Amino acid sequence: MRKRRTLLALGAAAFLPAVLMSGTRSPDPADAARFILVGDTGTGDERARSVAAQIRRTAEAAAVSHIFLLGDNVYEHGEARFIGSRFLDVYRGALSRGVRIHAALGNHDVERCGESGVRPVPRDGSAYALARDCEVDAHLATPEFGYRDGSRYYSVEIPGSGPSRAPLAEVFVLDSNTLGKDDTKLEVGTDEPQLRWIAGALRASRARWKVVAMHGTMYAPARCQWLGLICRDDDEVLRSELEPIFTQHGVDAVFQGHQHLYARLRPQRGIRYFVTGAGGKKPDSARNDERTLRREDRGAFNHFVYVQATGDRFGYCAIDAEGEIRDRGSFGRGDPADGEFAGGPCSPG
């Protein structure tokens, strides 16, 4: 029954290839970038630990090099005293295998922070008014979170595993807390230095695949609570700030947290958008809309997303806390729709 449910949940674009029907699959490519993205992990509870345990197993089986946390890494208010119990202890298994973790700041990580008022907005923690209840500086200074040089936003090149070691993917990690409108900490204006940085970094990138990792949602289905009285969807101001930059400079995929569910959207102006925000929190259900690929489970499961990027294909699969594949697919540059993907841990069964 579990296997049948797995196959039914894959979605319209992710189907069982003929090679798998015969009981075999194509060997994984020798030259590939393999990494994981997961959001809203910081509860420290059984859900978070189950997802982290499955991440460790996947990282071991697939030789994953990096894990990207999409924010809300320490609930509920980013308290420094919980970094150990709600992050380090939970991800110790992956860290012990040498997998590098890199985090984005979520709204709960800076829940009790105000803006410092400094203009232009600083790239480091001084963008926020540090106080007894605001401990973003502890996040940025924790080596295991992987913030580069104490910066709120940065990029990570991921080389292939072949002899050239050229960057197959580059992941651009943003701090959405000083962008957009829904959760922005800025009382006036926006974070112009961050916008200039992402435009310049994308322009200069040598990577075959350009991936953005952030907490806020540019494109997401609505999810509602309290009998539909309180709903959350995407941030139109955030989209207006970032989408022109992304389309101009060739972003291929954007991974977002914030919504406690899984969703894959239809390509928007040639860019793939994912919501992967149920790495620890109790999952919510998404409302179906025309932009989001319909799912019978409405994305209401704890999970993470595994990516395998080669020179010509970008493959992905959503894996739940029990190791079941809930969605998978792949695309090449310019593909209007996604095709099959059966690499590594994304093979069903």
What would the pLDDT profile of 252-300 be if each residue is shown by its tens digit?
Answer: 999 999 999 999 999 999 999 999 999 999 999 888 889 999 999 999 9
pLDDT at residue 248 is higher than 90: yes
pLDDT at residue 173 is higher than 50: yes
DSSP at 27: P
Contact 11, 329 (CB under 8 A): yes
- Judged by average pLDDT, the poorest of 121-125, 130-134, 157-161, 202-206 is 130-134
Residue type at 252? D
Q: What are the residue ranges spanned by the domains of the chain?
A: 2-9+31-344
Give the strand pairing for 167-173 and 154-159.
antiparallel
* Residue 164 to residue 260: CA distance in whole angstroms: 38
Q: Which two tokens stand for residue 262?
A: 């899984």
pLDDT at residue 143 is higher than 70: yes
Exposed, middle or buried by CB within 10 Å (0-12, 13-18, 19+), for 10? buried
pLDDT at residue 197 is higher than 80: yes
Helix (H, G, I), strand (E, B) or coil at 99: coil
Query: Directed axis angle between helix 236-248 and helix 192-204, to 10°?
Result: 30
Residue listed under structure tokens 């992710």: 14
* Residue 305 to residue 39: CA distance in whole angstroms: 10
pLDDT at residue 26 is higher than 50: yes
As a whole number, mean pLDDT of residues 200-206 equals 97
More confident residue, 229 or 117: 117
Band the pLDDT of 10: cuts 50, 70, 90: very low
Band the pLDDT of 9: cuts 50, 70, 90: very low
CA nearest 215: which of 129, 281, 269?
281
The pLDDT value given to residue 225: 61
**Sequence-ordered list of residues with C-beta below 8 angstroms from that of 91, at least 6 positions apart, any chain:** 52, 55, 67, 101, 144
What would the pLDDT profile of 40-94 be if each residue is shown by its tens digit?
Answer: 999 999 999 999 999 999 999 999 999 999 999 999 999 999 999 999 999 999 9
CATH architecture of 2-9+31-344: 4-Layer Sandwich (3.60)
